[in-house]
């Protein structure tokens, strides 16, 4: 699962954002922010080509991310819930009056860190599945973004596929290193077990030959 872009906003005022690759997702995200209906808390998803913009609005604060369509909905919304909690804990009531990009220098690094974690660390999915969080996203309808924005011309999402492929390559290398490490430790444990078994066999033979577990006839 790949999260390529994320932001935190108050209404349509973007307070922090981060993009993992070259894309115009920021432009589309701003238009989505302006078109989200009502002012109540909401979870909603908008599709665009093979990418989906996931939006979570709570208490007037909106967390948004763009992910591959293969990511499903639960994990992106878990990511948004995590980002919302971190943002509120960090800035508190300051978010109510902050200017555009007031938190970007600091919180964009948090976005990048958590995007990486939720995209690549298997514990991210395992922990949230055990918690049973965000179960309500099963009922979130995915709407087409062109209909939501009500534009006459089709709004194209431009993603730098070279950078995206580079990101996939890095993930593959990390997974390969993790696999090699797992195999190495498995082999180490197997070798240690074989050595212990061999020592035990030798000891049994010596105990039988030396007439006792203390090896009396061999040590005297």
Ranges for all domains in the chain classified under CATH 3.30.450.50 = 3-159
For the cut 90, the answer to whether the pLDDT of residue 109 exceeds it is yes
Whether residue 147 has pLDDT greater than 70: no
Secondary structure (H, E, C), 125-164: HHHHHHHCCCHHHHHCCEEEHHHHHCCCCCCCCCECHHHH
Residue 212: both structure tokens together: 């006792």
Mean pLDDT across the stretch 88-103?
Answer: 93
Q: What is the per-residue pLDDT across 23-54, written as a single tens digit (0 to 9) for each?
A: 888 888 888 888 887 678 888 888 887 888 99
Examine the pLDDT at 138 and tell me if it is beyond 60: no
CB neighbourhood size of 154 (10 A): 9
Q: Residue 63: beta bridge partners?
A: 8, 56
**Span 3-159: which CATH code?**
3.30.450.50
Q: Name the residue among 159, 158, 156, 155 with its Cα closest to residue 168.
A: 159
| pLDDT value at residue 152 | 45
pLDDT band at 135 (very low <50, low <70, confident <90, very high): very low
Three-state secondary structure call for residue 178: helix
């Amino acid at each position: 699962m790949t999260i390529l872009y994320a932001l935190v906003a108050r209404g349509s005022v973007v307070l922090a954002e981060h993009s993992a690759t070259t894309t115009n997702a920021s432009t589309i995200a701003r238009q989505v922010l302006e078109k989200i209906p009502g002012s109540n808390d909401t979870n909603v998803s908008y599709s665009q080509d093979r990418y989906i913009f996931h939006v979570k609005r709570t208490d007037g604060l909106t967390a948004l991310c763009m992910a591959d369509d293969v990511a499903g909905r639960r994990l992106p919304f878990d990511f948004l819930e995590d980002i919302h909690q971190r943002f509120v804990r960090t800035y508190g009531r300051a978010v109510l009056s902050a200017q555009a990009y007031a938190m970007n220098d600091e919180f964009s690094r948090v976005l990048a860190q958590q995007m990486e974690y939720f995209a690549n660390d298997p514990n991210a999915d395992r922990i949230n599945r055990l918690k049973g969080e965000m179960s309500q996203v099963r009922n979130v309808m995915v709407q087409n973004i062109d209909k939501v924005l009500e534009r006459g011309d089709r709004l194209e999402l431009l993603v730098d596929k070279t950078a995206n492929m580079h990101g996939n390559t890095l993930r593959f290398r990390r997974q390969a290193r993790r696999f090699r490490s797992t195999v190495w430790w498995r082999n180490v444990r197997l070798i240690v077990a074989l050595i212990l078994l061999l020592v035990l066999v030798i000891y049994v033979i010596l105990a039988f030959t030396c007439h006792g577990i203390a090896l009396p006839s061999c040590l005297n």
